[in-house]
Amino acid sequence: MDINRPPPAGAAPPGPRPAKTILRALAGETQPVPPIWMMRQAGRYLPEYRATRAQAGDFLSLCYNPDLAAEVTLQPIRRYGFDAAILFADILLVPQALGLDLWFVTGEGPLLSTATTPAEVAALKPTPAIHDTLSPIYETVRILRRELPAETTLIGFAGAPWTVATYMIAGRGTKDQGPARALLTADRATFAALIDRVTDATIEYLSAQIEAGAEVVKLFDSWAGSLRGPDFDDFAVAPAAKIIAALKARHPAVPVIAFPREAGPRYAGFARATGADCVALDNSVDATWAAQNVQRDGCVQGNLAPQHMVTGGQALVDETRRIVRAFSGGPHIFNLGHGITPDADPENVALMVRTVREAREGCEAGEGR
């Protein structure tokens, strides 16, 4: 036997097997039925969420109220029995903790003060100071570790530096991230300094979530697809690799999921380049292609189109089954290709969950083979 030969794709590494299905997938195990959770699963499509948000008064008050934030995190677990709960928070809490003003306007979304000059970047708070603002988030994590079912994995998260920086530069979300790309072109040194500040803060933020009880963390790079060529390497790959390496040094047993949304062909090799344990896929990527080119490196997550949660019906069932079959040869966590939308029907979510969990019966019957 060649002791230097790597295990086959989809094989679990040697050693004790984690009990929770999400952790087993992240450890490289291929399971007959993939574990399932859903991005933005705690959200406005649920009537119980809307009631709790009304109780909080506004979105930021909900994020910073540990009892209420824990409650909305638990709501989709009670309703659907997902295999994981993801901490309820927002990616823009980090720039707020670094000293930028943050507020939400109905119909407009988040608005921020900006950091676009060397002086403004230098004026951001030192990284250790972020915990003064973010301590309620860590308390939410501690509450969830006490209250979640024993079989449910707790996922913490943060926005990736490029995505967070686009908001810090523009002061709001933008369609094409034009202001951030303009600063990158005009003053690459200042842009890189901002990325470095966000990267360092993200390491500390995710590490604190892990210390509070998060079992997995996810890095959301929602606008990674707007980076091209060397810029993708410098500002999507490199910061993710730095964050993951730092987290692995401190917390070697904690898996990291990376989501470079709309990376297209750059999904292939992303896990190897960054050290991520799993790559989440948006719904623009064909599952068969991803199984051949991304899953070969380990666990993948995704990638049902969120629109199916609105329209439902047989198309939802068929596409769910197709994705489960496509990824059945390796470790897979079933999820959407992006977050669920507020106009989704909760009954369609229930149908998706039933369809995924009936996958074993379909496979055993030879369906689609």
Residues that are catalytic = 40, 44, 53, 90, 167
Task: Look at the alpha carbons of 166, 169, 174, 178 in this order and tell me if their dihedral is positive or negative.
Answer: negative
CA-only gyration radius of the chain, Å: 20
CA–CA separation, 130 vs 182, rounded Å?
28
Structure tokens at 60: 């930021």
Angle at 12 between CA 323 and CA 337, to 5 degrees: 25
CA–CA separation, 308 vs 326, rounded Å?
18
- Of 214, 84, 237, the C-alpha closest to 160 is 237
Q: 243, 250 in Cβ contact below 8 A? A: no
Chain centre to alpha carbon of residue 97: 20
Q: How many CB atoms lie under 10 A from the CB of residue 44? A: 14
Q: How many CB atoms lie under 10 A from the CB of residue 367? A: 11
Structure tokens at 57: 């008064």
Q: How many helices (H) and strands (E) does the chain have?
A: 18, 9
Q: How many CB atoms lie under 10 A from the CB of residue 144? A: 27
Strand spans (E) along 200-339: 216-221, 256-260, 278-280, 299-304, 332-336
Structure tokens at 190: 């200042």
3 state SS of 259: strand
Angle at 205 between CA 204 and CA 206, to 5 degrees: 95
